[in-house]
Structure 1
Amino acid sequence: MKKIKCLILIILSLFIFSCSKKEQINQSTIKEKNLQSQVLETFIEGKEALDGGDVLFAAKKFTEVQVMFPQSIWAPQSNLMAAYAYYSQDYYLDATEELKIFLKKYPKHSNVDYAYYLMAICYYEQIVDEKKDLNSVLKSKENFEIVIDKFPNTDYAQDSKFKLEFVMDILASKEMYLGRYYLKKKKWIAAINRFKTILEEYDTTIYIEEALHRLVEVHYLIGLKEEAKKYASVLGYNYESSQWYENTYALFDKKYEINQKKFLKENKKKSKFTSKIKSLLKLDE
């Protein structure tokens, strides 16, 4: 009899434990469903605010999603949406901070290509000119190159290539600006180094022809005529029809330079004579 009572007690205990466990699971499932519902509602609030132009409230809502349920599929999406919300109103610092968080937390996410691209664009749109701080230029270059290297078959890569050309022109213009300055100050070695940097790192930019000419000019001025001729031949081979080649040729051919000035002077006289004739003809009419 005692054995039967003990058995019944064990079975009852197991039954109560089982029911309790099921109840806990059900409560946990309900709580999770409620949390998912709240997260989705908050995300939708953020999206509606963004569409309505209230970017700060939108970013706040997207941040709430990340805090409420960081394991949900909405968390990384909210992270990106917050970054875009800030970017859309030129809050570039806030946008890049959100993107840094995203790239650190979700390095293998399917939208990581977009994150790098948006990061590059944030820096790209802060570029002023080559005389200002180069941080934005260098950061945009770094991120555009990541997009091109890691995601070559995306639309982001195509646009990154286009914008990277402009970035490289800016960096080359900075080197050219400094090179001209050192040339003017007769700091020959510093000038040569700047012009060589353009040849080595920015050879596809619009400054390559001038850089070659300046290297000819500097070496000619300091008496290294053979070195000057070497750069002149490279310029002539690749850009024979350019104005910079004509300027280079004038360094070696003083007669050519005199003839050019004479031609320009005569051409100017002819131009004035022609304009006088035209004005007389108009009066006759």
Structure 2
Amino acid sequence: MNKFFLFIILFAALISCAKKEEFKESIIKEKSLDLQVLEAYQEGMKNLESGDVIYAAKKFNEAEILFPQSDWAPKSALMAAYSYYTQDYYADTIAELERFLRVYPLSKNLDYVYYLLGVSYYEQIVDEKKDLQSIIKAKKYFEILIQNYPNTNYSLDAEFKIELVNDTLAAKEMYIGRYYFDKKKWIPAINRFKTVIDNYDTTLYAEEALHRLVEVHYILGLKDEAKKYANLLGYNYQSSIWYEKTYSIFDKKYEENIKKRKKEKTKKNKTLKKIKSLFSLDG
């Protein structure tokens, strides 16, 4: 009985010692792993500062993979994306950020992720006639940011950039609308100009779009419809050059009178200059 009891005590002691040793070994390994992660992260930062962004991103990815459960993992993933962004590697930046959203959907830095995604597409916009995909994606991510994280500095800048994006989209619609107008394809032209009025009424193209709608409907003989858009243009933009052009459609003498007044003003200015020269010291 005593032998059995001693065996039980020894067995328990061995198990306890084994657990203690295992625990100590686990702590050593964890510390070693943390150190490796930190070294990889620091090397990534060093190379980012020196301009070697490809190698920097590689080291940040390495830090993430070494300890994916640590707090360093999402930070490293985000730094990898930022490294690519600093040298305009937009495709790599976007790929890293989209992966980040899949792997870390509860990250506290999602506002920055959406902002950087929007900016990565936004900065690829060169021509409104060609870069439609970048325009749409930029607007999409900026809108997600504004909707979900409204009280951030990123959101404020996103609102400003959306205004510029809308200007670009309106410019595209106007470009196509003018093309249809020149080709006398009235219905497609009307649809494009209406899109500007309906979706981008705060842009600088809204005035011209209203004027073009007046023109098209007047040409088609739909004078009541033309007057409707003319009244809308007059109510909102009475002092604009497009209102003057619209007014001249209904009053052909109006444009002639404007030209006549400009000539008279020019003539008056010349006369005043002549009179002034008579009384100058040089005269």
Q: Same fold (TM over 0.5)?
A: yes
Letter in 2 for 1:244: W
Q: Distance in 1 between matches of 2:274 and 2:103?
A: 75
Kindly tell me: are residues 15 and 126 of structure 1, through their superposed partners in 2, closer, same or farther at Cα, counting changes over 3 Å?
A: same
CA deviation after TM superposition for structure 1 residue 49, in Å: 1.4
Q: How does 1:88-107 map to 2 (within 5 A)?
A: 88-107=86-105
SS of the residue 1:186 aligns to: coil
1:71 and 1:114 map into 2 onto residues whose CA distance is: 21
Identity percentage over the alignment? 61
User: Equivalent residue for 1:228?
Assistant: 226
Q: Deviations over 1:6-38 (max 9, x none)?
A: 221222122112211221121112111110111
CA drift at 1:148: 1.1
**Uncovered stretches (5+) of structure 2, i.e. residues with no partner:** none
Residue 136 (structure 1) aligns with: 134
Indicate the residue corresponding to 2:170 in structure 1.
172
1:238 is paired with a residue of what secondary structure?
A: helix
Distance 2:153 2:197 in 1: 30
* CA shift for structure 1 position 260: 2.2
**Correspondent of 2:84 among 86, 106, 111:** 86
Distance 1:279 1:58, change over 3 A: farther
So what's the TM-score if we normalise by structure 2? 0.94
Report SS of the residue matched to 1:20.
helix
1:181 aligned to which of 156, 179, 183: 179
Q: Amino acid of the residue matched to residue 194 of structure 1?
A: R
Aligned-residue CA RMSD (Å):
2.0
Letter in 2 for 1:77: K
Matches within 5 A, 1:259-274: 259-268=257-266
Deviations 1:194-231 (Å, cap 9, x if unpaired)? 01101111011111111111111100000100000011
Determine the C-alpha separation between the residues in 2 that align with 1:129 and 1:263: 39
CA distance change for structure 1 residues 171 and 280 in 2, over 3 Å: closer, same or farther? farther
User: Aligned with 1:217: secondary structure?
Assistant: helix
TM-score by length of 1: 0.93
Q: Distance in 1 between matches of 2:273 and 2:80?
A: 64
- Tell me whether 271-280 or 240-249 shows the greater mean CA deviation: 271-280
In the TM superposition, what is the alpha-carbon distance from 1:270 to its structure 2 partner? 5.3
Farther off after superposition, 194-203 or 21-30: 21-30
Report the more deviating stretch, 214-223 or 49-58: 49-58
Aligned AA (1:187): K
Letter in 1 for 2:67: F
* Aligned residue in 1 for 2:37: 39
